[in-house]
Amino acid sequence: MRRSGVRISHGPQIKMLKLNIIYEDKDILVIGKPAGLVVHPNKPNQNNTLVNGLLAYYPPIKEVGEDPLRPGIVHRLDKDTSGLLIVAKTNQTFKYLKEQFKQRKIKKKYLALVVGRIKDEKGIITKSISQSKKAHNKRSALWDEKAKKAITNYKVIKRFKDYTFLEVVPKTGRTHQIRIHLASIGYPLAGDKQYKFKRQPCPKGLGRHFLHAYYLKFQLPNGKMMALKSELASDLKKVLQDLKNEQN
């Protein structure tokens, strides 16, 4: 693992952003994204995102991709989700990775803590996802004519008194998919403020939703298979340890 310091212009000030580079070659970067960092700007003058750091670290990336606000970005993680993110360094690799995602050849696994005790050891959620009619920044598992197919597998790692720790494997890549799917079966992510239930409990010390992208398996453009892992983020580790201590 290598950490690289890069400088970002933030208005009249300079802000340091440390990119946690898990893997790099001439074609790709795999970043360990921290919670709280937005992946890409939504408007040109937004300059405190991962993309701003990528532009500072590797300036040629500004020519990569289809959207100048998302250079090199082939998939994304929510602001408060931590973990592994692949970035393309060339247009050829960008197109290659987009096709790999489209064909569902890139395997992603997440670690999640949900509210409630799931009885089954594993399960699959196949509810389609559409734009919420109540809020523009939310999605819904209620079907309508614009709903898109979504599939999520999960299995139980450990049960606590009021929570369940899961490994989650999304087979599709819809916005907020894991969060929506788990909430739709009655087990919302611990700490999720957007898709929470009324009077939903939250583990002590958890300041964001409990979701970490810990595993990526994919084939490089040269044919080599890669399997990368990321340790659970320290804030989430502490939450789990506290739950274990309470249970003992």
- For the four alpha carbons of 176, 23, 210 and 159, in that order, the dihedral sign comes to positive
Choose, from 25, 27, 78, 242, the residue flagged as catalytic. 78
Residue-wise pLDDT for 84-118, tens only, equals 999 999 999 999 999 999 999 999 999 999 999 99
Q: What CATH topology corresponds to 105-248? A: Pseudouridine synthase (3.30.2350)
pLDDT at 6: 46
Residue-wise pLDDT for 38-79, tens only, equals 999 887 777 889 999 999 999 999 999 999 899 999 999 999
pLDDT at 18: 86
Question: Is 78 an active-site residue?
Answer: yes
Residue-wise pLDDT for 159-210, tens only, equals 999 999 999 999 998 989 999 999 999 999 999 999 988 889 999 999 999 9
pTM check: above 0.95: no
pLDDT at 11: 28
| Pairing of β 82-88 and β 163-170 | unpaired
User: What's the average model confidence in pLDDT over 209-222?
Assistant: 96
Name the CATH superfamily, with its identifier, for domain 1-103. Pseudouridine synthase (3.30.2350.10)
- Above 50 in pLDDT, residue 9? no
Residue 127: φ, ψ to 5°: -75, 135
Residue 218: φ, ψ to 5°: -160, 165
- Above 80 in pLDDT, residue 153? yes
More confident of the two residues 129 and 113:
113
**Gap between the Cα atoms of 89 and 86, Å rounded:** 10
Q: Classify each residue of 89-112 as buried b or exposed e, where b means 16 or more C-beta atoms within 10 Å of its C-beta.
A: bbeebbbbbeebbeeeebebbbbb
What pLDDT band is residue 10 in, cutting at 50, 70 and 90?
A: very low
Q: Where in the chain is the domain with CATH 3.30.2350.10?
A: 1-103, 105-248
3-state secondary structure of 97: helix
